[in-house]
Amino acid sequence: MTNWILGEKFNETYPHLSGVKALWETKWQLPCKLSVYPFHGGSLQDFQPIFEKLIKDNVNDAYSDTYTEYFLPTARKLVDEAMSVQGSDRKKAIDLFERAAVVFRISRFPSVDGGDTGFKRKIFEEQIQVYLRGASLWDAPMKQVIIPHTTATAQDGKEIPLFVRIPNGASSTNKCPVVLLITGLDGHRPDNTGRSDDFLKRGWASVIAEIPGTADCPADRRDPLSPDRLWTSVLDWIRAQPGLDSSRVLAWGLSAGGYYAIRLAHTHHTQLLGAIGQGAGSHHFLGREWLSRVDYHEYPFTLSHAYIKKYGYDSWDQLLENAQKDFSLVNSGLLDGPCCRLLLVNGTWDGLMPIEDSILLMNYGRPKEARFYEKMLHMGYPPANQSIYPWMDEVMASR
């Protein structure tokens, strides 16, 4: 058995997994109160009554349609309130639309494909429309852009939906740098307002894309090479936009998206100034031993069902047998090749993506940069951004 840096916690079952009451009281209530991940932009006054009802009715299966339904009256009431004031109080309307979008977000956890009825996916589509309605009121709006997947093969979809936010005044004579934000397993295009705000303050554009096997990403979830085609199409599109500076592009992969940022840093190294793999997996995270305990760590719910859907296997046993062979970046051979600047950030007690997956990258190719937070959980939050943004500022300023 591996001597994981996670230590004895590897074999623990984390307390929030005993049911929705424990989830709310031990894990989610404080982030909701502080309006931080995954409740950024949300409000405790919206969520407290919802979770009280879930607890009272003993609804513990977040993959079920029943769980999702508890959130919808609150979300739709907020939308109605936003629409009633958008002509008279734009600021209030923006806040209400954002709160509604966050309620929709938590309702469709942990996977838009998690159920068998397609209901969560419909709610995700409703979230997108609500989010974009609110974002259209911003001074620098977030817009959805559907681009052609020009390098698609037969098993890929033919269109790539992106969320794009460009600073006012960007033009062919005043091009702005770009952050390609690569989302994760459950955080998708409409879940990144705070990051896009941070980019906008720096004069950077946001291009937000989802990863294979999640949300609306068209890339073939079973093909390990499909992300390479996906990013070629996205980067080609960026290069063709008159207001975007394709010579100054950073990629930032979040959680499951960190794997794709690492891969992109190698496959498209000449087209990036740098990449960030935050909370990233690379090899061990898909090994049988690690996966045997992944349902028992800090993810809010069991993770295995979402993984089966994401990677396109028929069963958990099939995933255990094949996922590491199919998707390991070590096995791919890419890591020995050229790479752009690559920053790795995570907590040493990450129970979803082992810190070993960031450390082992130091053994391959170009020297990497890293900041690991002792005894912090997945993604290295809350202090992680104290390392990420200064690094981004430095790299963007290098050209």
Q: Please give the positions annotated as active site.
A: 255, 350, 378
Q: What is the per-residue DSSP string for 114-183?
A: SSSSSHHHHHHHHHHHHHHHHHTTSSS-EEEEEEE-TT--TTS-SEEEEEEE--TT-BTTB-EEEEEEE-
3-class state of residue 41 by DSSP: coil
**Number of helices (H), then strands (E), in the chain:** 16, 8
**d(C-alpha 24, C-alpha 54), whole Å:** 10
Three-state SS annotation for 270-284:
HHCCEEEEECCCCCH
Write the CB contacts of 47 (distance below 8 Å, at least 6 apart in sequence).
28, 32, 39, 103, 106
**d(C-alpha 157, C-alpha 217), whole Å:** 8
**d(C-alpha 73, C-alpha 76), whole Å:** 5
For residue 101, which of 217, 193, 198 has the smallest C-alpha distance? 193
For residue 105, which of 43, 162, 52 has the smallest C-alpha distance? 43
